[in-house]
A and B are shown apart, each in its own frame.
Chain A
Amino acid sequence: MVMRRGHGFGDWAWQRLTAGTMAVYSVGVLVYWLVSPLTGFEGWKAWCTPVPFRVFSLLFFWALMYHAWLGVREIMMDYVHYQVLRLRLEWLVRLVLVIYTLWATYIVWSI
Chain B
Amino acid sequence: MAAKRPKNLNLFTIRLPLPALVSILHRASGAFLFLLLPLLLFLLQQSLASSATYDEVHALLKTPLLRLIYLIIIWAYLHHALAGLRHLAFDAHWGLNLRFARASSMGVLIVSVVLTVLMGFLLW
B48:A72 contact, CB within 8 angstroms = no
Partner of A68, one of B34, B55, B77, B85: B34
B48:A45 contact, CB within 8 angstroms = yes
Cα distance A19–B55 in the bound complex, in angstroms: 32
Partner of A107, one of B30, B44, B88: B44
Across-interface contacts of A42 in B (CB, < 8 A): 51
Also in contact, A23 and B81, with CB within 8 A (given A41-B54, A72-B31, A75-B31)? yes
Partner of A44, one of B31, B34, B47: B47
Partner of A75, one of B27, B84, B88: B27
Say what secondary structure dominates the interface of chain B: helix
Interface residues of A (CB under 8 A from B): 16, 19, 22-23, 26, 40-42, 44-45, 48, 68, 71-72, 75, 100, 103-104, 107, 110-111
A103:B51 contact, CB within 8 angstroms = no
B48:A44 contact, CB within 8 angstroms = yes
Question: With contacts A23-B81, A75-B30 known, what are 14 further pairs, Cβ within 8 A?
Answer: A16-B91, A22-B81, A40-B54, A44-B48, A45-B48, A68-B33, A68-B34, A72-B31, A75-B31, A100-B38, A100-B41, A104-B41, A107-B48, A110-B48
Across-interface contacts of A23 in B (CB, < 8 A): 81, 84-85
Across-interface contacts of B48 in A (CB, < 8 A): 44-45, 48, 107, 110-111
Range for the number of chain B residues in contact with chain A: 20 to 34
Across-interface contacts of A110 in B (CB, < 8 A): 48
Interface centre among A22, A41, A48, A75 (most CB of B within 10 A): A41
Cα distance A40–B50 in the bound complex, in angstroms: 11
Across-interface contacts of A40 in B (CB, < 8 A): 54
Partner of A100, one of B37, B55, B84: B37
Closest to A68 in B: B34
